[in-house]
Structure 1
Amino acid sequence: MNQSMFKLADIVLYIIPILLLYIFSKSINNHFKKQEIRIKLADLMVPYLMMGIQILSIQTFNMSIFPYYLIILFSLGMIIAIFLAYKKGEIIYSRFFKTYWRFVFIFSLFTYYSLVGVNILNKLLIF
């Protein structure tokens, strides 16, 4: 069996975020809603996506893109803070962190699946 073939671990790494969002989203959201906590499944998935970005970037490029990812996230936080200060005239921390964390999730999901696509192409081209 060739090294470049897809392994079960690769396939699981590729589909876990979609499965989590599809299968558990409603139950997790209802669970936290009953406890009157405003947490969604997307908020809980960010650490998994960050870990996946680290693993996939090393598998794909033989180096980590995680520092660049963090620089973009921190820059995004500054841009959101400046935008909120300009638009509202003040920065309300709860609104800032909620907005920032949702953008972190969207950017993390986009980065994760971009890496999945590049990883799949990399494996197919080597094979």
Structure 2
Amino acid sequence: MLPKIIATLYPLLTWLVLVFAFKFLRIRQLTRRKLLIADVYVLFLIYGLQLFSEQITAVNILPYYLLILSILALILLLLDLFYYKAFDYKRFFKLFWRLTFIITLALYIAMIVMIYLH
């Protein structure tokens, strides 16, 4: 039961740690561009997905997650080429990383729901 509670609280705790780190350590000013909390938070969510999915469910979600991200990148690339007729890597990576955050958060929430329903 304790791993389920830790897996559930992990996103909230990492978000709070990142908020305090960005506020008090001034991480945002260390980069040339404005770094957002969500940009770093994705990495912690991916680590949490891998760690908790393997420990609690005995199924590693990471290969499926990487497949989803690969399909997302391919779709975004094709939309960029067909809609804009050009490829702008800055716009592509920014949109890809923001959509990666949304997909990762949704997959993590789905994993938590799956853990409690099982």
Range class of TM-score, shorter chain: 0.7 to 0.9
Count of aligned pairs: 116
> Of residues 85, 91, 95 in structure 2, which corresponds to 1:89?
85
Q: Secondary structure at the match of 1:15?
A: helix
Give TM-score, length-normalised by structure 1: 0.75
Q: Distance in 2 between matches of 1:26 and 1:57?
A: 27
8 Å CA contact retained: 1:29, 1:39: no
Gaps of 5+ in 1: 1-5, 123-127
**Structure 2 CA distance for partners of 1:81 and 1:69, relative to 1, 3 Å:** same
Deviations 1:50-102 (A, max 9, x none): 12112232234322121111011011011011112222111111110010011
How far off its partner does 1:32 sit? Answer: 4.7
Measured in 2, the distance between the counterparts of 1:60 and 1:16 equals 14
Verify the 8 A CA contact 1:60 1:118 in the aligned structure 2.
no
2:38 corresponds to which letter in structure 1?
A: A
On the 8 A contact 1:57/1:65 being kept in 2, the answer is: yes
Aligned to 2:9: 15
User: C-alpha distance in 2, partners of 1:19/1:39?
Assistant: 20
1:105 to 88, 101, 111: 101
**TM-score, normalization by structure 2:** 0.80
Equivalents in 1 of 2:83, 2:61: separation in Å? 33
Q: Which runs of 4+ in 1 moved over 3 A?
A: 19-27, 29-36
The answer as to whether partners of 2:4 and 2:56 remain within 8 angstroms in 1 is: no
Sequence identity, in percent?
28
Unaligned runs of 5+ in 2: none
What's the counterpart of residue 37 of structure 2? 41
| Cα gap change, 1:64 to 1:87, in 2 (>3 Å) | same
Root-mean-square deviation (CA, aligned residues, Å) is: 2.4
1:109–1:29 distance in 2 versus 1, CA, 3 Å? farther
